[in-house]
């Protein structure tokens, strides 16, 4: 949020909330504060954020999830602001610095909440009527910075000004300097040299294509005048992946996809929630994918190690053979021999076999040693085969979880996959304080299943391992058709039977194409897909969610095309 948008928002907050009581304070994020206000006929929430790229102050209609217990700064705000009235709100001209004043009947003077909306250098500071710091969102010691301390009990001092020229003080000489430095990067040079401008406004100035320093100076003068008069619109530019919050003076070109909002707070709210929740989603999705890959790589390494052990244990047949051959040749062996050569009559023709011996053991002891190695290898191999089966199931499960995490389209889907992995023991469950009187655990999220209409036929598509499991256990009935890409992690797809007889072949083929497109095989030209009656798809007891055994099936080959 730049100084232009902030000025409009502060004016809106002043008109709506002056005299309103603080009813509650929340801190949903490390850098976000939400203050609930009330006065007759008005309830509103004020969001303040010092997010590195989304710093803002505006009235919000959204709801951000709160932590189980209020953080330190939130507790301090509740103590000093609950029940107080908003008596004043003012911003510094051409700056992103706002002071909110609060008055209480039981205290003299105004408590100030100072909002420095400077991105990664931003802070929210609670200041007493005598000007000393009560608390701050980010406490700063002298060891951390030489610029300014922010600690309880010391006087509040604002951040020193940046080495830029304030917008109202820009003159022709500075504009000539800006032109001389670089014409091909005008917006960047403006941002570096003029205080009070944002990237968005600098881009608009560059879009106006001033051809001389005089034209640039005239634009900046008009811009300063527009700020003082409030002669500009606030809205969103929807060009690109994310919307951009912008102030648009009447003399600058309108950006592509510009949408004006009657309320500056509404524009800021749509911008912030879209970007903030979007970034949170991408971050949580990325963290989940990274965690699954870590567990998957660990399982794959374990499988390699077990397979290596199996290769060694598979020699047990040879050990047993040596024991049997020694049994028939005990009379010809003496203690102290390092090896013995005997005839193996199990081959045709009989062949000589040289057997290594332990010279410290008697012939009988050497024979029993080989029999012991045989039994150890045989029993060990049986154990390792069970481990291999278990680890392969684990890898299949994690590969499926990874696929669904990579293709999750919402925070709910990511949360469900994370919850499932926590229940399965693959991810650590976050510690939460138990509230008194609430012994019941929070119920699991409903499994993600997508319902599609395929020319009048109902199709269910799992969007997680739990979703796949739910389809098999609760939605699929005998006679329904189950689909899954052969050899790839992905979604279980079930085509419900809509009447007597099998569905038309073109419907089956289309369902198979959907199953192929909802798997890691998406993008391949030709994909094999299992097709089975739902009665032949068995969920094996004790297995992870989504893992099944298919008794009887056929395969179809489909082309995924552009799906």
Integer Cα distance of 34 and 38 in angstroms: 13
- CB distance 21 to 243 below 8 Å: no
> What rounded mean pLDDT belongs to the chain?
88
Match 């009330």 to its residue by tokens: 38
* Contacts of residue 216, Cβ cutoff 8 Å, sequence gap at least 6: 175, 178, 179, 186, 205, 210
pLDDT at 437: 45
| Average pLDDT rounded to a whole number, residues 113-136 | 93
* Contacts of residue 484, Cβ cutoff 8 Å, sequence gap at least 6: 490, 491, 492, 493, 515, 519, 529, 530
- CB distance 67 to 28 below 8 Å: yes
Alpha carbons within 13 A on the beta-carbon side of 70: 15
Number of neighbours of residue 157 by Cβ within 10 angstroms: 12
pLDDT digits (tens, 9 = 90+) for 307-322: 887 777 667 777 778 7
**436, pLDDT greater than 50:** no
Q: What pTM did the predictor assign?
A: 0.71
Per mean pLDDT, which of 5-9, 210-214, 313-317, 559-563 is the most reliable? 5-9
Alpha carbons within 13 A on the beta-carbon side of 78: 11
> Confidence band (pLDDT; 50, 70, 90) for 262?
confident
pLDDT at 446: 77
- Portion of the chain with pLDDT greater than 70, in percent: 96
More confident residue, 562 or 155: 155
DSSP tally for the chain: helices H, then strands E: 12, 24
pLDDT at 442: 59
How many whole angstroms from its chain centre is CA 271?
A: 19
pLDDT digits (tens, 9 = 90+) for 281-301: 888 999 999 999 999 999 999
Nearest to 533 by CA among 512, 519, 554: 554
> Confidence band (pLDDT; 50, 70, 90) for 435?
very low
Alpha carbons within 13 A on the beta-carbon side of 27: 16
| Average pLDDT rounded to a whole number, residues 416-442 | 69
| Average pLDDT rounded to a whole number, residues 82-105 | 93
pLDDT digits (tens, 9 = 90+) for 12-53: 999 999 999 999 999 998 999 999 999 998 999 999 999 998
pLDDT at 398: 92
User: Mapped to the 3 state alphabet, what secondary structure does 28-59 carry?
Assistant: EECCEEEEEEEECCEEEEEEEECCCCCCEEEE
pLDDT at 44: 95
Per mean pLDDT, which of 10-14, 197-201, 357-361, 519-523 is the most reliable? 10-14
More confident residue, 16 or 439: 16
- CB distance 74 to 25 below 8 Å: yes
User: Mapped to the 3 state alphabet, what secondary structure does 260-306 carry?
Assistant: ECCCHHHHHHHHHHHHHHHHHHHHHHHHHHHHHHHHHHHHHHHHHHH
* Contacts of residue 558, Cβ cutoff 8 Å, sequence gap at least 6: 509, 512, 513, 516, 526, 527, 529
**562, pLDDT greater than 70:** no
Nearest to 360 by CA among 331, 340, 335, 330: 335
Integer Cα distance of 275 and 200 in angstroms: 16
| Phi (first) and psi of residue 489, to 5 degrees | -70, 150
pLDDT digits (tens, 9 = 90+) for 468-488: 999 998 999 999 999 999 989
**463, pLDDT greater than 50:** yes
Domains of the chain: residue spans and CATH: 3-136 (2.30.310.10), 165-262 (no CATH), 310-393 (no CATH), 449-559 (no CATH)
């Amino acid at each position: 949020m730049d100084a232009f948008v902030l000025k409009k928002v502060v004016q809106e907050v002043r008109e709506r909330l002056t005299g309103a009581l603080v009813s509650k304070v929340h801190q949903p994020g490390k850098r976000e504060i939400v203050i609930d206000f009330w006065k007759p006929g008005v309830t509103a929430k004020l969001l303040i954020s010092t997010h590195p790229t989304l710093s803002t102050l505006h009235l919000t209609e959204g709801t951000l999830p709160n932590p189980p217990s209020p953080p330190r700064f939130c507790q301090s705000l509740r103590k000093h602001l609950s029940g107080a009235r908003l008596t004043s709100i003012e911003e510094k001209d051409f700056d992103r610095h706002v002071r909110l004043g609060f008055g209480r009947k039981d205290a003299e003077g105004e408590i100030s909440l100072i909002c420095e909306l400077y991105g990664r250098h931003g802070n929210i500071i609670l200041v007493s009527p005598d000007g000393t710091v009560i608390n701050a969102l980010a406490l700063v010691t002298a060891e951390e910075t030489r610029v300014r301390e922010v600690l309880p009990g010391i006087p509040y001092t604002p951040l020193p000004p940046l080495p830029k020229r304030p917008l109202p003080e820009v003159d022709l000489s500075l504009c000539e300097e800006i032109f001389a430095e670089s014409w091909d990067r005008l917006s960047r040079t403006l941002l570096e040299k003029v205080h009070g401008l944002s990237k968005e406004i600098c881009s608009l100035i560059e879009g106006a294509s001033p051809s001389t320093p005089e034209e640039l100076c005239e634009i900046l003068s008009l811009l300063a005048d527009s700020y003082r008069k409030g002669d500009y619109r606030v809205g969103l530019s929807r060009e690109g992946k994310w919307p951009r919050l912008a102030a648009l003076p009447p003399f600058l070109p309108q950006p592509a996809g510009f949408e004006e909002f009657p309320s500056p707070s509404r524009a800021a709210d749509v911008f912030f929630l879209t970007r903030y929740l979007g970034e949170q989603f991408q971050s949580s999705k990325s963290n989940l994918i990274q965690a699954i890959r870590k567990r998957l790589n660990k399982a794959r390494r374990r499988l390699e190690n077990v397979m290596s052990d199996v290769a060694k244990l598979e020699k047990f047949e040879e050990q047993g053979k040596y024991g049997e051959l020694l049994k028939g040749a005990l009379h010809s062996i003496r203690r102290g021999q390092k090896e013995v050569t005997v005839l193996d009559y199990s081959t045709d023709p009989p062949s000589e076999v040289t057997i290594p011996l332990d010279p410290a053991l008697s012939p009988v002891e050497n024979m029993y040693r080989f029999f012991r190695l045989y039994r150890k290898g045989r029993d060990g191999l049986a154990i390792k085969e069970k481990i291999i089966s278990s680890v392969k199931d684990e890898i299949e499960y994690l590969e499926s979880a990874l696929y669904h995490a990579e293709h999750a389209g919402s925070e709910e889907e990511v949360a469900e996959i994370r919850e499932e992995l926590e229940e399965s023991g693959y991810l650590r469950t976050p510690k939460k304080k138990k509230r008194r009187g609430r012994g019941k655990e929070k119920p699991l999220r409903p499994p993600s299943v997508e319902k599609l209409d395929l020319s009048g036929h109902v199709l269910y598509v799992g969007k997680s391992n739990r979703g796949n499991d739910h389809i098999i256990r609760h939605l699929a009935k005998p006679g329904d058709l189950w689909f899954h890409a052969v050899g790839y992690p992905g979604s279980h797809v079930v085509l419900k039977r809509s009447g007597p007889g099998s569905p038309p072949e073109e419907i089956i083929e289309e369902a198979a194409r959907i199953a192929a497109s909802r798997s890691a095989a998406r993008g391949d030209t030709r994909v094999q897909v299992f097709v089975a009656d739902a009665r032949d798809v068995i969920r094996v007891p004790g297995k992870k969610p989504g893992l099944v055994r298919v008794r009887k099936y056929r395969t179809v080959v489909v082309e995924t095309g552009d799906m």
